[in-house]
Structure 1
Amino acid sequence: MKINKWMAAAALAFTSILSSASNAADEPLKVGFVYVGPVGDHGWSYEHDQGRIEMEKHFAGKVKTTFVENVPEGADAERVITQLAKSGHKLIFTTSFGFMNPTLKVAKRFPNVRFEHATGYKRSKNVSTYVLRTYEGRYVSGVAAGMTTKSNVIGYIASFPIPEVIRDINAVYLGAKSVNPDVKIKIVWANTWYDPGKEADAANALMDQGVDVILQHTDSPAPLIAAEKRGKKGIGQASDMSHFAPTAHMFSVRDYWAPHYIRTVEEVMNGTWKSEDYWGGFAEDLLHITSVNPNLPEDVKQAISDTQEKIRSGAFHPFTGPIKDNQGKEVIPAGKSLNDKELASVMWYVEGIDASIPK
């Protein structure tokens, strides 16, 4: 009789364990996102959040997401990432370069959580990196700017002197130079990802120096709005900014993150996720040229389309030698294209850029 009671109790306990395991399996996967700017920046953080929303809809109740916006890069980021990991998030996307070291620190303490860091270069067993080939869109932008400028001076509002930004400045200039050998580029460092006031001031400073086409590596539409007021041209950053400057806006290069977020969540769910360095651009449908302004000349619109297709198909790589830096040193030999590792460490300006990289 005692044995039967023990067996009954054991069976009941086993059934309870199975039930708990089943309930746990039925719970949605918790996925966290950390943004450096506000989701209303109309640029970088906005598009990451649009990707989050599309991903959550795709999985229809199987995923529950959390996002934290306006997170400074540094100690605050580490605290936010830690809190997400502690609160049951099994996959966490940290979406700015300055979140790299905080992400790695937290990942060491939570080995069963998967982390994905955007634009970084450091990885570990449970930390992947992912980045857009934004230089592809910048090259197209440079071609359009070089064909459009009347003053032969284009301008770039830069955020911080990191490889991604330097690489994209170079891509713009290479694209512009390919169609306009007389073009010059002026650079203003805003030292921010998002600050509409600083961005507008930077745009006006560039236009005061003769710039008539504005490009940017900052996230608000303020530079485009400034260009609109002064009858100049500009190109939208990260999202479709056409409605902010209907005349000045030439087109936008949109970051489309949803495919990567969907793929990554699927891999976590089916147990195939592994640490990697993922790059996506035109070919992977993560980068879009959007809202090309009908007021552009037909040859410019055709060049935008043709250049994008050459890059998308693999027929052309913007960083193919021979290319010299602005000190006269050959940095890419003839016939060679930079690989992803080399692209991630570009810290030189190409020949013709009359500027130095801030320390």
Structure 2
Amino acid sequence: MTPDPDTGPIPLVGRQPAPPSSRRGADVRTARPPVPAPPTAEPADDPATVEAPAAVAPATGEAPTTGAPATVEAPVPTSTTESIGAVLVPGARKSGRAGRDMVAAIGVGVGLGAVILVSLLVYRPAFLLVLGAAILVGIVELGRALEAGGARAPLAPVLVGAVAMLGLAWTRGTSGLVVGFLLTVLAVLLWRLGDGPEGYLRDASAGVLVAAYVPLLAGFAVLLLVPDDGAARVLLFIATVVGNDVGGFAAGVLFGKHPMAPSVSPKKSWEGMAGSVLACVLIATPVVTLALDAPWWGGVLFGAALAVTATIGDLGESLIKRDLGIKDMGNLLPGHGGIMDRLDSLLPSAAVAYLLLAWVAPV
């Protein structure tokens, strides 16, 4: 029987004898047997279940391959990206604390204000052309934005219906506006039938939303323009909404500490809302009393109401954009976004302005 090959010295658990003098110069570490585990130590677990200490990620930015799972942090916006929820969107505008490029925003705002002012003071019907162009662009922007959520609103009947609604509001008043809206809704429902039943309810509902949100509410601005003092009424309405933005911005930057709706619009604060109300009241009260010969309390009520509706309109559009995962409705206006990003607070305020002025300053 062939003996087993020599496998080396057998490790001893007890005390080790000194190595032979002939090997005194050798590296004794290679011949030293492993030290057994203490008697109280439990057997090692399965390597698959052992939780190793967290490893330090290498300088290349790769996740560690052993140890505790790496913590995933939210993306950090940079100068060329902006965070929408947990996603970084490329191409963000250079902005300050207010979230805008203020130089571009002020320049565009002054230009738009000049166009509106000239159209109202020189020839009132010219304001219809300015408003109509803005509404048509806003419809296209909103329709394209809704496509991000999978809804394809029939825009062709909405665009035609918008022109009809604004024209009927100018010539026939409130009844004309209502009839134009109802005909537009009917046209949207019939138009969508051509694409079949799949997604019909979703697309038709999106079309009705666009028709109600943009041209119907804009029709109330046309109703404000109809009376002989219509230019003053429209200027009062627009100036008050602008005061809401300016007052809210100034108070929010200087004093804002308590967020109003952090999940919808993180930069809006209750201190900014107070500034909006104050600015709107200070603008509306003298115009209502001097230009429209209405009581002073009517101006206070008008200013406070439009501060609320303008803020709700702004938050409402921000909620839609958050849901769709977009930053702006468009990029037509530098520093502002799209046309709809400027109409958001004006549209609901137009309806409230018309109703309040019909009460406190009837024609």
TM-score (ref. length: structure 2)? 0.23
Higher RCO, Cα 8 Å, sep 6+:
1
Largest Rg, 1 or 2:
2
TM-score (ref. length: structure 1)? 0.24
- Larger relative strand fraction: 1
